[in-house]
Homo-oligomer: A and B are copies of this chain.
Amino acid sequence: MSALTESAAWRALAAHQRRMATASLRELFAADPGRAAAFTLEFGEVLLDYSKHLADAETLRLLVALAEQADVRGWIRRMYAGEPINETEGRAVLHVALRADAAVFPEGRDVMPLVRAARERMRRFVDDAHRGALTGATGERITDVVNLGIGGSDLGPRMATRALRRFRAPGAPRVHFVANIDPADLEAALEGLAPARTLFVVASKTFTTAETLDNAARARGWLESGLGGAAALGRHFAAVTANDAGASALGVAPERIFPMWDWVGGRYSLWSAVGLPVALSIGMERFEELLEGARAMDAHFHTAPPARNLPVLMALLEIWYVDFFDARSRVVLPYGEDLRDFPAYLQQLEMESNGKRVDRAGRPVDYATAPVVWGASGTPSQHSFHQMLHQGTEPVPADFIVFGDRRGGPAHAALVANALAQSAALMEGDRAGEPHRALPGNRPSSVIVLERLDPEALGQLIALYEHKVFVEGVVWNINSFDQWGVEMGKRVARTLLPRLLRGGDDAGLDASTRALLARLRGR
């Protein structure tokens, strides 16, 4: 048994769960006419209705006690203080600094001057692009930007650029995203693009990421074929990296190398120059509204008491299902096509942060951590996997995300009606009719209303989930900010690659991998 599962707060929850295991959502509502209002929390542009969860006032009291026991407030303070809470890498965790407006980090490292300087350089670059001053080797204006990055250098900017499609600035280039080492990815993105008018943003903290560097080399080849090798190809590249020398070696001019820092993890880096593609699409003013939105949520997270703190509440409800109801996944359903990439973004944010099995002291945990996060945009999801949500054998807690914008008319109303209907049907079920038509109901979901899908509100939404992940990590006593689990795979891939290309020694490999290698080896 771990200290956590033996703790008073945990044991109280386990005892309480035995009662709630048979609770009925309908009865919880019947017992408390004020439930819908009491179980709704609002901050800024975000409203969370968590009334359709298998929780009552006592559940919340016990969950908050768990948060207090885990010293969530202390950990928030330590993060803001710039302490090295990413212990396995000995690093601070300062993505909140990327959207801060004041130096608040003691420990002798006020990073705000760095942040502000980078933002100013982004602004000049973006403004140049929008007024047509960003030109390629032939002097033609840049009309298309292709972001070459993977993981955190891809998922965040990709999601936000699509989400803010309606805010594309006058004169803004079109922005495309390429992540996969498979050349088909770049090839498809370049269809219809003109080398003379295309700029590549190469985003990699180390500037050694195989996928990104391979794509940069291919991009260079494409430019050379189109423009000739003697052309000033450097004018078609910018870089976002902590490795200036690497970017220089690719021919990127120093003024086009934007910084990354070791106190920001990839999956938390959207707010830095990694967000350059977003800023190129919507302009720097709008990009700063995104930062402002996040900053507002930071302030709420920093100061609101746990029971009225959106990220804390969402984290506690996740822990309630994962650790006490044995839920193994959560489905995320944005009802708005422009937010369609949000589930993929959350997959990295949540599963890479909290998919861990040893605690901060290195002991294996005896409780479940990050569940599988999956989802797709509604309404298409309804015509795909909702069958299983309603009538499958496994209840899956759901996050419905809808937009409050009332100017959308019937089309917007249709989205909202569908989202609310799905959430209601999951809870209410359907006892009528033949057995194959019946829905068991009593399946939990949150409804998150985002007042509008604009930069400020999106910033709040993303920061909400970032902090939720942080709180979960604190309670689970794991380090949410490393990702050691991906290292061994990289190492093995490095040893397999030459064997695939040139054959050779297969010693030390398992028999399955040996057989597959023999089968797949270039002949």
Measuring CB to CB, which residues of chain A are less than 8 angstroms from any residue of chain B?
26, 29, 33, 35-37, 39-40, 47, 49, 51-52, 88, 150-152, 154-155, 165-166, 179-185, 188, 210-211, 214, 266, 328-329, 331, 335-338, 344, 347-348, 351-352, 354-358, 362-365, 367-374, 376-380, 382-394, 396, 402, 404, 406, 409-411, 413-418, 420-425, 427-428, 430, 434-440, 447, 449, 479, 482-497, 500-501, 509-517, 519-523
Contacts and interface: CB of A to CB of B under 8 A. Distances in A.
A370 B392 contact: yes
Most buried by B among A372, A423, A439, A491: A372
Contact of A385 (B188, B352, B523): B352
A388 B351 contact: yes
Contacts of A390: 355, 485-486, 488-489
Given A36-B514, A385-B351, A501-B413, A184 B338 contact: yes
Given A49-B516, A166-B184, 17 more contacts: A180-B337, A181-B415, A182-B379, A185-B337, A211-B379, A266-B383, A352-B384, A357-B392, A383-B486, A386-B489, A390-B485, A413-B501, A421-B493, A422-B493, A423-B513, A424-B509, A427-B512
A346 to B, nearest CB: 10
Contact of A180 (B29, B379, B416, B497): B379
A433 B389 CA distance: 41
Nearest to A87: B436
**Integer count of this chain's copies in the complex:** 2
Identify whether the interface residues of A are mostly helix, strand, loop, or mixed.
Answer: helix
Given A351-B387, A510-B428, A488 B439 contact: yes
B493 A417 contact: yes
20 contacts: A35-B512, A37-B515, A150-B380, A150-B383, A155-B384, A182-B337, A182-B377, A183-B411, A328-B394, A356-B387, A357-B391, A390-B486, A413-B500, A413-B522, A416-B496, A416-B500, A421-B496, A422-B493, A425-B488, A436-B479
A79 B384 CA distance: 23
Contact of A362 (B338, B422, B434, B511): B434
B367 A393 contact: yes
B417 A496 contact: yes
Nearest to A403: B520
B489 A422 contact: yes
A516 B420 contact: yes
A265 to B, nearest CB: 12
User: Nearest 10 CB-CB pairs, A to B?
Assistant: A355-B388, A151-B383, A362-B435, A391-B485, A421-B492, A390-B485, A355-B392, A421-B493, A351-B388, A348-B384
B489 A520 contact: no
A424 B388 contact: no
Contacts of A484: 391, 436-437
B436 A358 contact: yes
A391 B513 CA distance: 21
A84 B451 CA distance: 49
Contacts of A485: 386-392, 439
Nearest to A365: B393
Contacts of A492: 420-422, 424-425
Contacts of A420: 492-493, 496, 513, 516-517, 520
Most buried by B among A47, A384, A495, A496: A384
